[in-house]
Amino acid sequence: MKLSFDKSSLMNGINIVLKAVPSKTTMPILECILLDATDESIKLTANDMEMAIETRIEGNILEKGKVAIDAKLFSEIIRKLPDSEIVIEEENENIRISCEKTNFKISGRRGDDFVGMPSVETNQYICVSQFTLKEIIRQTIFSIAPNENNKLMTGELFEIQDDKLKVVSLDGHRISIRNVELKDHYENRKVIVPGKTLIEISRILSGDAEKEVYIFFSKNHILFEFDQTVVLSRLIEGEFFKIDQMISSDFETKITVNKKELLESIERSVLLVRESDKKPIIINIQNNNMELSLHSLIGSMREDILGHHSGKDLMIGFNPKFLIDALRVIDDEEVTIYMMNSKAPCFIRDNEGRYIYLILPVNFIANR
Amino acid sequence: MKLSFDKSSLMNGINIVLKAVPSKTTMPILECILLDATDESIKLTANDMEMAIETRIEGNILEKGKVAIDAKLFSEIIRKLPDSEIVIEEENENIRISCEKTNFKISGRRGDDFVGMPSVETNQYICVSQFTLKEIIRQTIFSIAPNENNKLMTGELFEIQDDKLKVVSLDGHRISIRNVELKDHYENRKVIVPGKTLIEISRILSGDAEKEVYIFFSKNHILFEFDQTVVLSRLIEGEFFKIDQMISSDFETKITVNKKELLESIERSVLLVRESDKKPIIINIQNNNMELSLHSLIGSMREDILGHHSGKDLMIGFNPKFLIDALRVIDDEEVTIYMMNSKAPCFIRDNEGRYIYLILPVNFIANR
């Protein structure tokens, strides 16, 4: 095999597929990137057996072939080479990388030993912009469950219904919901996508509003296709939680406040919270005023925020982290919070139905 | 006590004295910053018993007093407050911090319990620019010894002789020497300054060439005074190594090469070096060419760099890290390396006597 590339196109390709190289594995071949130039194009592939990424890169095929190269070493060497033409030659898994006056010789592995991207028959797809997909992942991913105790909670629901895409994540204490209007007509579908896949995809996506992502579905897989890249991931099997019955539009208290003011105030309050001494933030709503307070072993904090309040007065306590997570991904200048009483969940939602963040309160009287 | 400040001046002051707050200590009071407004000015002080930093900050004294405040909590709270006026009140070690509509209440400690800056009688000083001091620290600090096996090697020699300041560090494998012309006449003096002190000072120094640092000496201490800040540190006791007899200007081989080319080539070579498999970089000088090569279990690397060579041909091996450290802090476009033979140290030095970097070679034949 003999190939030549611009450093930048090779480096970009490596950075994309690196996202599917497992950090720990019992199969050393998975620590490799497959460099495949057996056809007319040059492809890089990595696969951690849950997710596989393949990307095509620009370059010249001087001699066809394929080889698997240790991903970490390969990426480090390419990164440190001069910004110039890079030539990669391979014979019997001996790899020579040359660039200007530099020559590296390293060992590779047989390309045929690499577990490539499985071929999957897809029967349906949707199309959204890279910007939209990157944003909805950012706006929901924080409320997946951090551990595997409940496998379903480690993924996100992607539900296509009536030409809308609804993305949902939940961890038992809160629910995040984002809705996006699709531009075309698509069949209804519900799948659960692993959170890890979404995190890695959002790192690869450029976030360009003009560029599209095609999302294909099969029985057990989801496939994302964008730019020169394909990401294939297993789906999580099972039936997602019935969230519709948890969502209510009733409320007894409603308050609208400046989002930045509220977020910054809660961010300050957590300075008084230590791992060993979790304390809720207490919100007291009265006379168009939201008083926030937090008392811990370290000290106390109190702050007033003016707002537009309707309905009953209310005092309610929350885990401050959950409010922070939701407020950080809401890009509106003002947020409206709807509450029933101090024991029912609050809803942060907009009028257009783009987002709903449900957060369970905590029993602050016991905690005070 | 009642004081008011602009957030920015308080924050700047805290960031400066934080450098002397110990990360681990058996004396909880040392984890505090002393806020002292018993005189006409407001001072912040921190002290880890090796080094103390005191800085004066702008602010209004509405009621005199002093109190010690947990450094980490204090800095976090101030950082998160709005960019506005901050009022700090204290009564019986109960501290109230207010800013706009935010109020924090935390506990402090008695100011009198704080171990303040010792008063030291100085008998001599020099003056250099902040830029110069920051630079010479950066250019020498990497070759102090990382552990305390030899206390003298954890510090740097500051030697004033004939109106020059010479700064020296060494770790048994290499020596770094920087010389600076002083602008005034000063008495000769030799002290050993703890490396830790120099690292923290260089983080505080603005690096402004127009601003000065006064460096005062006492029998056991060194005191740096600049801007509104005073840093006092113990000296390391003992007699520094006699380095003059290690420095030679004889050579059999001399080569001048582009610094950036050489540095980048060696930086690439270390990609093949693993903790468990330390391999030298081998430099082969012949016909105005410097061939660099490194062979390890991972692979091999070879590169040619053109240079101006005089004297004998030579093959010599080095720990690549030592060459990288020295080359990174040399700001010249070209560097000249002087060598005797494959077993004697090499010298990287300029013609003006501003710097000398001595590096011992390694026995590469055994390593090959």
Of A77, A80, A267, the CB nearest to B80: A267
Rounded to whole angstroms, the Cα distance separating B361 from B355 reads 19
pLDDT for residue A275: 83
Q: How do residues B76-90 score in pLDDT, each as one tens digit?
A: 999 999 999 999 999
CB contacts, 8 Å: B268 with chain A: 77, 80-81, 102, 104
CB contacts, 8 Å: B74 with chain A: none
Partners of B258 in the beta sheet? B334
> In whole numbers, what is the pLDDT of chain B averaged over residues?
95
CB contacts, 8 Å: A299 with chain B: 73, 104-107
Please indicate if any CB of chain B lies within 8 Å of the CB of A82.
Answer: yes
CATH number of A2-113: 3.10.150.10
What's the Cα-to-Cα distance from B154 to each of B137, B148, B196, rounded to whole Å?
A: 13, 7, 8
Compare all CA atoms of chain B with the CA of A290 and give the residue at the minimum distance: B101
CATH number of A124-244: 3.10.150.10
Does the distance separating the beta carbons of A102 and B265 come in below 8 Å? Answer: yes
- Interval A305-326 mean pLDDT: 97
pLDDT for residue B118: 87
pLDDT for residue B318: 97
Please indicate if any CB of chain A lies within 8 Å of the CB of B260.
Answer: no
* pLDDT at residue B130 is higher than 90: yes
Look at A142-151, A193-202, B341-350 and tell me which has the smallest mean pLDDT.
A142-151
What's the Cα-to-Cα distance from A37 to each of A34, A198, A232, A295, B257, rounded to whole Å?
A: 10, 28, 20, 63, 39
Does the distance separating the beta carbons of B301 and A81 come in below 8 Å? Answer: no
* pLDDT at residue B366 is higher than 70: no
Rounded to whole angstroms, the Cα distance separating A15 from B163 reads 53
3-state DSSP assignment of residue B107: strand
* pLDDT at residue B367 is higher than 50: no
- Interval A247-254 mean pLDDT: 94
pLDDT for residue A6: 97
Q: Which two tokens stand for residue A85?
A: 């033409």
pLDDT for residue B368: 42
Query: Could you check whether A2-113 and A124-244 share the same CATH topology?
Result: yes
Place of tokens 């012309």: B181
- Interval B308-318 mean pLDDT: 97
* pLDDT at residue A368 is higher than 50: no
> In whole numbers, what is the pLDDT of chain A averaged over residues?
95
Question: Binning pLDDT at 50, 70 and 90, where does residue B147 land?
Answer: confident
* pLDDT at residue B364 is higher than 80: no
- Interval A60-79 mean pLDDT: 97
Does the distance separating the beta carbons of A73 and B271 come in below 8 Å? Answer: yes
pLDDT for residue A118: 87
* ipTM surpasses cut 0.85: yes
Does the distance separating the beta carbons of A80 and B267 come in below 8 Å? Answer: yes
B124-242 is classed CATH 3.10.150.10: yes
pLDDT for residue A82: 95
pLDDT for residue B106: 97
Rounded to whole angstroms, the Cα distance separating B108 from B111 reads 9
CB contacts, 8 Å: B76 with chain A: 271
Cβ atoms of B50 and B233 closer than 8 Å: yes
CB contacts, 8 Å: B80 with chain A: 264, 267-268, 271
Cβ atoms of A317 and A282 closer than 8 Å: yes
> Higher confidence at residue A267 or residue A120?
A267
* pLDDT at residue A364 is higher than 80: no
Pairs of residues, one from chain A and one from chain B, whose beta carbons lie less than 8 Å apart: 72
Pairing state of beta strands A189-194 and A155-161?
A: antiparallel
- Interval A217-234 mean pLDDT: 96
Provide the residue ranges of all domains of chain A, joining segments of one domain with +: 2-113, 124-244, 247-367
Of A82, A267, A304, the CB nearest to B101: A304
Partners of A339 in the beta sheet? A253
Write out the DSSP string of A232-267.
EEEPPPSPPP--GGG-----SEEEEEEHHHHHHHHH
pLDDT for residue B363: 86
What is the maximum alpha-carbon separation in chain B?
78
Q: How do residues A150-200 score in pLDDT, each as one tens digit?
A: 999 999 999 999 999 999 999 999 999 999 999 999 999 999 999 999 999
Rounded to whole angstroms, the Cα distance separating B259 from B337 reads 11
pTM of the model: 0.91
Please indicate if any CB of chain A lies within 8 Å of the CB of B171.
Answer: no
Environment class of residue A249 by beta-carbon count within 10 Å: exposed (0-12), middle (13-18) or buried (19+)? exposed
Place of tokens 């007899």: B245
Q: How do residues B234-250 score in pLDDT, each as one tens digit?
A: 999 999 999 999 998 99
Residues 6+ apart with CB under 8 A from A42: A3, A5, A35, A36, A56, A57, A58, A59, A61
Does the distance separating the beta carbons of A107 and B300 come in below 8 Å? Answer: no
Rounded to whole angstroms, the Cα distance separating A115 from A113 reads 6
Superfamily of chain region A247-367: DNA Polymerase III, subunit A, domain 2 (3.10.150.10)
